[in-house]
Structure 1
């Protein structure tokens, strides 16, 4: 069991609109400000979806905005910068492959197609395989997103076919309680962890919505790490909206400290994940 806890903050996501939730950070300035405060509160990694303020703050994979966001976060923080290659569920596969051109430290790699509410999040094996190889070539560390138990088996297949990712570490994130994916229950999380390939060196978990706290507590108890943020959870408590991502990071940090696994620094997160140091370029 790790003596400390990697806290990932996912501040924005692609589903919630700015009109419905004005406190959601969507501009570059807001994302950087959130990242800076969350790092101070204990976050070690920021998982980023980029929005376009000039187009109703909708999700975008515009290469200039992606690169500018990575650079701004790198200049303002020491956080591991991870770009989502999922984008919006409506983004075409070919556009999602271009995310790595922005040279993030890490990228998400979702290990299978799934129903995503009323939509379908497409991740055919050929796309996953191509993304994995490109990440190896560009020296970007993937975080394998597991929304269901079948995704764990797909991860096994990827490792068998392509070997270890760049950096030699294998970090996965269980995303639970998405309508269409694995439920946000302790039993489901335990089943997923028990299935992980032996090459996995670390794992984290997040519970969408009401499963947020039970999954966080279970992950800490089992030696896992945490992901929190307004991408996954807009409510701090019943009837109480999250006003800033730092609230969720502070609570996660307190919970981790109480469990005697305090938050790890961004520098330790880099070691845990085996990321390439691109700072100062």
Structure 2
């Protein structure tokens, strides 16, 4: 079991509308303020989606490069870009996210129903994403929406080798309608399946919506790490909207300290992830 906890903040996402969630950080200035405050609380990684001038999700290359540069200038956070975008984004635009040269990027291990949509991740696309990240020295976070995605990851690593940096880190995304449930039992099943992956593989867990706290506690007790943020939940408690990403990071930090696994700083996080 790891002695420290890697905390990732996912502040925006591509699903919630600013009009419905006014606290959502959608401008670059709002994102930078959120990043600095969350870093001060204990976050070490920021998982980034960007929005356009109308607060709609975008994979615009210029905005992505500007965002990566600004985050590096303003914080010491590990910058992880989403290659998922919105479920309607084409593969070419998702691959082009890597041109912004982040420290890390997400790499989803398979197709999954996503609410009323379908999050398409063909095998050929996954291979392309993985090998391009190897070539560019970008560390992937392998996103696992269902148990079978871990088998796909094993196949990927067996055929195409370890990721940049040599360390395998996965994120269990739990509670998405269409994916695995956000329960302790599901997390334990995923944790056991990690035995088939390279020795030293680490994991984070993300609980969507009302599964947030259950997944957070289960991950800590199983030796895992945490991802929290307004991409994943906009309700702090029943009938109580999230006021800021800092609320969610502070809660995660508090639980990590109670578990006697305090947050890793950015230096410790880079060492853990092979950066």
Fold shared, TM-score > 0.5 on shorter chain: yes
Q: Distance in 1 between matches of 2:197 and 2:94?
A: 29
Moved over 4 A (4+): none
Q: Distance in 1 between matches of 2:254 and 2:173?
A: 21
Residue 239 of structure 1 corresponds to which residue in structure 2? 239
- In the TM superposition, residue 207 of structure 1 has moved relative to its aligned partner by 0.7
Query: Where do 5+ consecutive residues of structure 2 fail to align?
Result: none
Residue 103 of structure 1 corresponds to which residue in structure 2? 101
Residue 278 of structure 1 corresponds to which residue in structure 2? none
Aligned pairs, how many? 273
- In the TM superposition, residue 201 of structure 1 has moved relative to its aligned partner by 2.1
Q: Distance in 2 between matches of 1:51 and 1:29?
A: 12
Q: Distance in 2 between matches of 1:185 and 1:263?
A: 23
Q: What's the secondary structure of 1:145's corresponding residue? A: strand
Q: What's the secondary structure of 1:13's corresponding residue? A: coil
| Worse overlay, 136-145 or 200-209 | 200-209
- CA deviation profile, 1:17-74 (whole Å, cap 9, x unmatched): 111111100000011110100000000100000111x2x2111111100000001011
Pairs within 5 Å for 1:24-63: 24-52=24-52, 54=53, 56-63=54-61
Q: What's the secondary structure of 1:126's corresponding residue? A: helix
- CA deviation profile, 1:245-272 (whole Å, cap 9, x unmatched): 0100000000000000000101111111
Residue 205 of structure 1 corresponds to which residue in structure 2? 205
Residue 257 of structure 1 corresponds to which residue in structure 2? 257
- CA deviation profile, 1:161-213 (whole Å, cap 9, x unmatched): 11100000000000000000000110011101111233152100011011100
- In the TM superposition, residue 115 of structure 1 has moved relative to its aligned partner by 0.4
Q: Does 2:227 align with 1:227? A: yes
Q: What's the secondary structure of 2:155's corresponding residue? A: helix
Residue number among 48, 58, 76 corresponding to 1:78 in the alignment:
76
Scaled by the length of structure 2, the TM-score of the pair is 0.98
| Worse overlay, 190-199 or 113-122 | 190-199
Q: Distance in 1 between matches of 2:101 and 2:2?
A: 28
Q: What's the secondary structure of 1:226's corresponding residue? A: strand
Q: What's the secondary structure of 1:154's corresponding residue? A: helix
Q: Distance in 2 between matches of 1:225 and 1:117?
A: 25
Q: Distance in 2 between matches of 1:147 and 1:98?
A: 23
Query: Where do 5+ consecutive residues of structure 1 fail to align?
Result: 276-281
